[in-house]
């Protein structure tokens, strides 16, 4: 609760999530400065088309980074999953280079495109 009070005093006067309309749990701030529950925003992202970067539900600005405020030190399984999902979102959309190991396809699974065979007549 102390972290919530410190964050609220410094940046936000209203600590409610505009998606679920409750007090933000595991609050995250978008690059446009809006505050949401991490779980609400991650769910919103996972249900968006093609898992592309989302637009802010309030101002429609493209969200390229999520700043998690309080759940880094939580040790329970749901909190760890939220932290993992936030990191995954930021890796995909923050514009930072990705490691080769994070590619979606392994070389042996990538289909090979070959030119069509020439006909014997031509």
Closest by CA position to 30, among listed 40, 21, 74: 40
Closest by CA position to 66, among listed 54, 80, 52: 54
Whether 27 and 70 have beta carbons less than 8 Å apart is answered as yes
Rounded Cα gap, residues 91 and 51, in angstroms: 13
Mean residue pLDDT of the chain comes to: 76
Q: What is the architecture, at CATH level 2, of domain 2-95?
A: 2-Layer Sandwich (3.30)
Q: What is the domain partition of the chain in residue ranges?
A: 2-95
pLDDT band at 27 (very low <50, low <70, confident <90, very high): very high
How many whole angstroms from its chain centre is CA 110? 26
Q: Around Cβ 6, how many Cβ atoms within 10 Å?
A: 12
Residue 119 has pLDDT above 50, yes or no: yes
Which pLDDT score is estimated for 75?
72
């Amino acid at each position: 609760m102390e972290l919530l009070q410190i964050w609220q005093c410094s940046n936000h006067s209203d600590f409610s999530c505009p998606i679920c309309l409750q007090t933000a749990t595991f609050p995250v701030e978008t690059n446009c400065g809006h505050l949401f529950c991490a779980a609400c925003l991650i769910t919103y992202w996972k249900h968006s088309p093609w898992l592309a970067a989302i637009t802010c539900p309030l101002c429609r600005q493209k969200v390229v980074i999520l700043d998690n405020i309080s759940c880094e030190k939580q040790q329970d399984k749901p909190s760890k999953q939220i932290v993992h999902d936030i990191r995954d979102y930021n890796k995909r959309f923050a514009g930072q280079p990705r490691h080769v190991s994070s590619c979606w396809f392994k070389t042996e699974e990538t289909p090979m495109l070959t030119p069509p065979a020439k006909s014997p007549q031509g």
